[in-house]
Chain A
Amino acid sequence: MTSTSLRRRLVSRAAEAFCAVSVVIALLPLALILFYVVKEGIGALNADFFTKMPKPVGEAGGGMANAIAGTLILIAIAAGFAVPAGVICGIHLSEYPKSAFSTIVRFAADVLNGVPSIVVGIFVYGILVLPVKRFSALSGGVALGILMLPIVIRTTEELLRLVPAGLREGALALGATRSRAIFTVILPAALPGILTGILVALARVAGETAPLLFTAFNNRYWSTSLTQPIASLTVQVFTYAISPYEDWHRQAWAGAFLLVMMILVLSIAARLAVRRLERMNRP
């Protein structure tokens, strides 16, 4: 064996080791977070947590039923307006990539993506809460939706652009109109990716706390009204975690655990959905 090849092998080994260390550094915080949340949360989780309302201060027991329902409602509102609006914007961006309007929308989406979530909260507070002088589920959902919007727009645009031009030509050559081609061929081809983007965006906003503080606020009682303040897991966890009560700390951990699980489930659902669709979609 020559010395060059020995050197080459050593360098290769060193590079491999470096990569391995990097992976450990990257994964360690994630593993620790999961470990702590699971360790502290799983013990606190019980049937009451899902089905019971919070008990007044000082009483042990109770659950977060209202916050779980609240979070689901908030996410539904957010998705209900951000998904259609975002997908349509994304279609526009990919169809007319060079128009002035597209340039503006793209820039706006990028800026919005970088805006701290608390700023979005204040903004929605200003337009939806102050005028009616009441916190509401609707305003909370809108705040989360605004946070979802740029992710949905940009994922949709990027994925539509990845659809081979041949598909569009194929549809047009058969006498499809442009919009027909988009909605029957191009969009379905990009759907798995777009769906992943939407689920990732949902997972992200499900964990937001700051924008909800001035919009959905919180609610100690069961509420499904869109015009009333509503509880959410994140705000509840925040409230409980900073409280001085041991039992609330326990429930905060359980809430945190539930949030992590929700995000995990969303991610897995995204994977499964994509795999199912791709079976039809990709070679």
Chain B
Amino acid sequence: MNEPKIHVKDFDFFYGASKVLHGISMDIPDRQVTALIGPSGCGKSTFVRSINRMNDIIPDARGTGTILIDGKNVYGRDTDVVALRRRVGMVFQKSNPFPKSIFENVAYGLRINGGGSKREMAEIVERSLRRAALWEEVKDRLHSSAFALSGGQQQRLCIARALAVDPEILLMDEPASALDPIATTKIEELIYELKSNYTIVIVTHNMQQAARVSDKTAFFMMGRLVELGDTKTMFMTPKEKMTEDYVTGRFG
């Protein structure tokens, strides 16, 4: 087994006085898809947003414990959050293209990182759009508004935008929950393609989606990690009764 890309040890998280994550410890393997499943409010979203410290923008939120990416502590004193987020891309539940053209959306991450020559930019934008399986659909209207795209296309644009800064890790917070089944299938196929180059952590409400796209599955419940294992095992022979009840829909 290779070194895990992300190593989490005894990680707690608080919103003010309420503790929402309790002693999470898990390893997330490199270049595989790890799915986080669990009922609403189980902490899976909070956890994934802790990996790139997206929760920092929430007042009174704080995490304690260890999250190591390639051995470096995300919550260390000297961690440069901006640099961290460039290595750890994120795609959100609601597609959030910027009020800019398709091209400028993808180029945004490059521009804030100092940009490059016009040709380099165009190359990276094209490559990112191709990787996100969107190039063919938008190549003739790169300079029209991103809002003219369909929901599924907008989400793939957001993925392209995240890929453009060449992250190592891609966090996806319910990336397909607002999409129709066809757009969802496209996103899932895309995730499957991307895992050869990126470490992907995906939060999903949809168990079947977790089953389809992931190699590892982690089941969260009330702020605790109940079980983590190979996706196939989790869906065929889970060890924990709670996992069994959840994946069979017998919950509660």
Q: Point out residues on A near B: beta carbons under 8 Å.
A: 98, 164, 166-177, 180, 184-185, 188-189, 279-283
Nearest A residue to B164 via CB reads A174
Nearest A residue to B80 via CB reads A175
Q: How far is the CA of A171 from the CA of B108 in the complex (A)?
A: 8
Whether B52 sits at the interface, judged by CB under 8 Å, is yes
Inter-chain contact A280/B57, CB cutoff 8 Å:
no
Contact of B165 among A167, A170, A172, A174 (CB under 8 A): A174
Listed by A's residue number, 28 A-B pairs whose Cβ atoms lie within 8 Å are A166-B94, A166-B96, A168-B57, A169-B90, A169-B92, A169-B96, A170-B98, A170-B158, A172-B54, A172-B85, A173-B52, A173-B89, A173-B162, A174-B89, A174-B109, A174-B112, A175-B82, A175-B83, A175-B86, A176-B112, A185-B98, A185-B99, A185-B108, A188-B100, A189-B99, A279-B145, A280-B145, A282-B99
Interface bits B113-124 vs A (CB < 8 Å: 1, else 0): 100000000000
Interface bits B151-191 vs A (CB < 8 Å: 1, else 0): 00000001001100100000000000000000000000000
Inter-chain contact B99/A169, CB cutoff 8 Å:
no
Inter-chain contact B96/A174, CB cutoff 8 Å:
no
The interface centre, meaning the residue of A98, A169, A172, A175 with most chain B CB atoms within 10 A of its CB, is A175
Please report the total number of B residues contacting A with Cβ < 8 Å: 29
**A280: B residues at CB distance < 8 A:** 99-101, 145, 147
Nearest B residue to A175 via CB reads B86
Instruction: Given A169-B96, A188-B99, A188-B100, check contact A283 B109 (CB 8 Å).
Output: no
Question: How far apart are A220's CB and chain B's nearest CB, in angstroms?
Answer: 49
Nearest B residue to A189 via CB reads B99
Inter-chain contact B99/A164, CB cutoff 8 Å:
no
Q: How far is the CA of A166 from the CA of B174 in the complex (A)?
A: 13
Inter-chain contact A281/B99, CB cutoff 8 Å:
yes
Q: How far is the CA of A185 from the CA of B111 in the complex (A)?
A: 12
Instruction: Given A167-B96, A169-B54, A189-B99, check contact A282 B147 (CB 8 Å).
Output: yes
**A188: B residues at CB distance < 8 A:** 98-100
Contact of B85 among A168, A174, A185, A282 (CB under 8 A): A174
Inter-chain contact A175/B101, CB cutoff 8 Å:
no
Nearest A residue to B94 via CB reads A166
Q: How far is the CA of A173 from the CA of B161 in the complex (A)?
A: 10
Q: Which 8 A-B pairs have the closest CB atoms?
A: A166-B96, A175-B86, A173-B90, A281-B99, A174-B109, A170-B96, A283-B147, A175-B85
Instruction: Given A173-B85, A175-B113, check contact A166 B92 (CB 8 Å).
Output: yes
Q: How far is the CA of A281 from the CA of B104 in the complex (A)?
A: 13
Question: How far apart are B111's CB and chain A's nearest CB, in angstroms?
Answer: 8
**A283: B residues at CB distance < 8 A:** 147
Nearest B residue to A176 via CB reads B112
Nearest B residue to A278 via CB reads B99
Inter-chain contact B147/A281, CB cutoff 8 Å:
yes
Q: How far is the CA of A247 from the CA of B108 in the complex (A)?
A: 61
Nearest A residue to B101 via CB reads A280
Inter-chain contact A173/B145, CB cutoff 8 Å:
no
Instruction: Given A175-B83, A283-B147, check contact A169 B57 (CB 8 Å).
Output: yes
Q: How far is the CA of A166 from the CA of B158 in the complex (A)?
A: 11
Q: How far is the CA of A206 from the CA of B122 in the complex (A)?
A: 46
